[in-house]
Amino acid sequence: MQRVFEALASVPRRKILAYLAHAELSAGEIAARFDMSKPSISQHLSILETAGLVSSEKRGQFVYYRLVPDNLTNTLNGFVQEVCPVGRPLKRESAARRDGGTRRRAERVPSCDHSGGESTMGMLQDGVWTNDTPVAPTDASGNFQRAESGFRDWLTRDGAAGPDGQAGVPAAADRYHLYVSLACPWAHRTLVVRALKGLETLLPVTVVGPLMGAQGWSFAEAFGGTGDPVNGVDHLHQLYAMARPGMTGKVTVPVLWDKQARGIVNNESSEIIRMLNTAFDDLGAKPGDFYPSELREEIDAVNARVYDTVNNGVYRAGFATTQDAYDKAVHALFDSLDWLEDRLTGEWLVGDRLTEADIRLFTTLVRFDPVYHGHFKCNIRRLLDYPRLRALAERIAALPGVADTIDLDQIKTHYYRSHKDINPTGIVPAGPAVPF
């Protein structure tokens, strides 16, 4: 025990333990959170490992560190809570607690709604980041509840109001910036439309890393991000606080940022893709209308079912906290996949052209076999078992620029290492082989 107390005498080492309370991390990932070099962090980790407080495992070219088993939990909790308030006790009262007879998960990250740590969710509370929120909020019946987006202004060609009277801002070259996660299906929609419309120069992109720590989405390169060349912040929640000081709410991707006004235009993916569809047409965007007026009613009807039972349905199944909630979600999901397979008699879901209905479904299909089939227990059938839907996904992936928006490594890393109560080991599976 003497080695334990000597190891815990160091404030940096106690802070390291506080962050390891949330997730397995490499020395580089930990260094990204400190004003300290990676070699110094590695030295502290060596002392903690010698004291038996952490263990390590080499995966590929990186070594990941994790906390020790529960026999040291009580000792560590006191230090973690004293030194780093964002840290939670290493052993919660249980992974699922009973509340009036309803089983509720204490922690989950609703992947891209997912503003939080690898075992926590997190949000802004009066402009200050906190992890004291459930990762995947559920209702009294154990059904996953997705929050609405909070920024809803509209980007138009000339700054006119949006379709429902939203405040408009005018399109301009290099005035706006898109913040995304390559892992997130909702953000992925915006990248697909951006590629199809050829907006790479008009609308630059910054990418957050697939791993989320105690401060939520991170731009740190050690976490797989690109850094933030626009505002120079370390975490996405800092952008939200900059845009709306004192804000209380979730921090999500995608984000359409106005560099001139230094604020968020919109963070709702379904609206951003419609903005990108037409807003830059006078500034050199490629031709293409993915929401044509003559097909809108049918597109809206397909979108409504696909969103509720497929796009969000995989989350409702994966984050369900009761058997009944899971059963309803998973059967509704596969009923809709069967319906879509039957509907797809031609190349596209609506009419004889690519529309946003195809794009919105595509980003879920890409992730289905690698993630949702196993990780979210959506395993009645695979995408491989739906020849028409698989062909649709391959057809879209083959369009110019679309393949570059698909990063299966980031997708799998995010889900399998972020949802620690679903996949406690954090092991990322090697397969399956998919044609994207």
Q: Which two tokens stand for residue 132?
A: 């004291």
Cβ atoms of residues 118 and 417 within 8 Å: yes
Q: In whole angstroms, what is the distance from residue 22 CA to residue 66 CA?
A: 9
Q: In whole angstroms, what is the distance from residue 119 CA to residue 113 CA?
A: 14
What do you get for the CA distance between the two ends of the chain, in Å? Answer: 52
The position carrying tokens 């007026």 is: 293
Q: Residue 279, SS3?
A: coil
Cβ atoms of residues 57 and 64 within 8 Å: yes
The position carrying tokens 């993916």 is: 269
Catalytic residue among 84, 112, 184, 378: 184
Is 184 marked active-site?
Answer: yes
Is 415 marked active-site?
Answer: no
Single-letter amino acid code for the residue at 99 = D
Please classify residue 315 by burial: count the beta carbons closer than 10 Å to its beta carbon, then call 0-12 exposed, 13-18 middle and 19+ buried. Answer: buried
Where does 352-415 show beta strands of DSSP type E? none
Q: In whole angstroms, what is the distance from residue 267 CA to residue 256 CA?
A: 6
Cβ atoms of residues 205 and 178 within 8 Å: yes
Catalytic residue among 176, 179, 240, 315: 315
What is the enclosing helix (H) or strand (E) of 180?
strand 176-181
What DSSP letter does each residue of 280-301 carry, written as one string? TGGGTPPP--SS-GGGHHHHHH
**What residues are annotated to the active site?**
184, 315
